[in-house]
Amino acid sequence: MSYCAYIAKGGSDEAYLLHKQYHDTQYGFPIESDDELFGRLILEINQAGLSWTTILKKQESFRKAYSGFSIQKIAAYREKDRERLLNDAGIIRNRLKVDAAIYNAQQVLLLQKEFGSFKAWIEAHHPKEKTDWVKLFKKTFRFTGGEIVNEFLMSTGYLPGAHTPDCPIAAKCPPPLPLRLPKGKEKTKRQKTGGI
C-alpha cells in the first residue's frame, strides 16, 4: 500500500492523524529555510531502523533538543551538548546519529559559505541519479545511506514520487526540479508500505 493510499483509507488514531498532517502539508513540499531543510535531514537520519510514526511523534522534541534546528547552533555543540542529547528521552538517543547531526551541521556551514545556502548546494547538483546523490551525500555527510538520501530528497520536493498521481495532494505540491530518474523506477520504503 502506498503512503497516499494509507492516508486515503482514513482513520482517527494518533498515528494516523500525525501521518495525515505530514502527508498533506509537508511530504513532497519544498522547504525554503536552510534550518528546516537541515531539520528534515536530521529526522530522516534518525528514522533509520525505526518507523516514521516514531519520528513524527518525536518531531517537536527533536526541534527543541536541537535548538530549533539552527544549523549554526548545532555546529557549535560541544561534549556537554552531546551528553544532553544522549540523555534526552524525547529523541532517539543514538550516539552515531547525534554525532552525525553535529558533524553534518558543520558541513552545511561550509556549504553555505561556498554556495550561499544548503538549498543552493542541493540545486547546484541537479540532475543526478539516486546512486550519484548517495555518493555525494556520503562524501559530504555522515549517516546518509541510500534510503535516507532518497527519502530526504523526495520528501523535500527534489525528487519525484512523493504522491501518487491520483492523490489530491499531488496537485498542491509544486513539481520537483526536472526529473532525474525514469518514472516509477525508484520507490522508497515509505512509498511501498506507507512507512508506518
Question: The C-alpha cell of 153 is what?
Answer: 530528497
- Does residue 188 surpass a pLDDT of 70? no
Instruction: Name the domain count of the chain.
Output: 1
Phi, psi of 80 (to 5 degrees): -65, -35
Q: In the predicted model, what is the mean pLDDT of residues 140-147?
A: 97
Domain that holds residue 114: 3-193
Q: For residue 183, with 0-12 CB atoms within 10 Å meaning exposed, 13-18 middle and 19 or more buried, which class applies?
A: exposed
- pTM tops 0.75, yes or no: yes
3-class SS of residue 66: coil
Percent of the chain with pLDDT over 70: 90
Complete DSSP assignment for 86-144: HT-TTS---HHHHHHHHHHHHHHHHHHHHHSSHHHHHHHT-S--HHHHHHHHHHHSSS-
Contact 163, 28 (CB under 8 A): yes
Percent of the chain with pLDDT over 90: 83
Q: What is the pLDDT of residue 195?
A: 55
Neighbours of 179 (CB within 10 A): 13
Q: What is the CA radius of gyration of the chain?
A: 16
Residue-wise pLDDT for 68-104, tens only, equals 999 999 999 999 999 999 999 999 999 999 999 999 9
Kindly report the CATH number assigned to the domain that includes residue 166: 1.10.340.30
Q: Give, in order, the Cα–Cα distances in Å from 105 to each of 34, 112, 185.
A: 11, 10, 31
Q: What is the pLDDT of residue 190?
A: 54
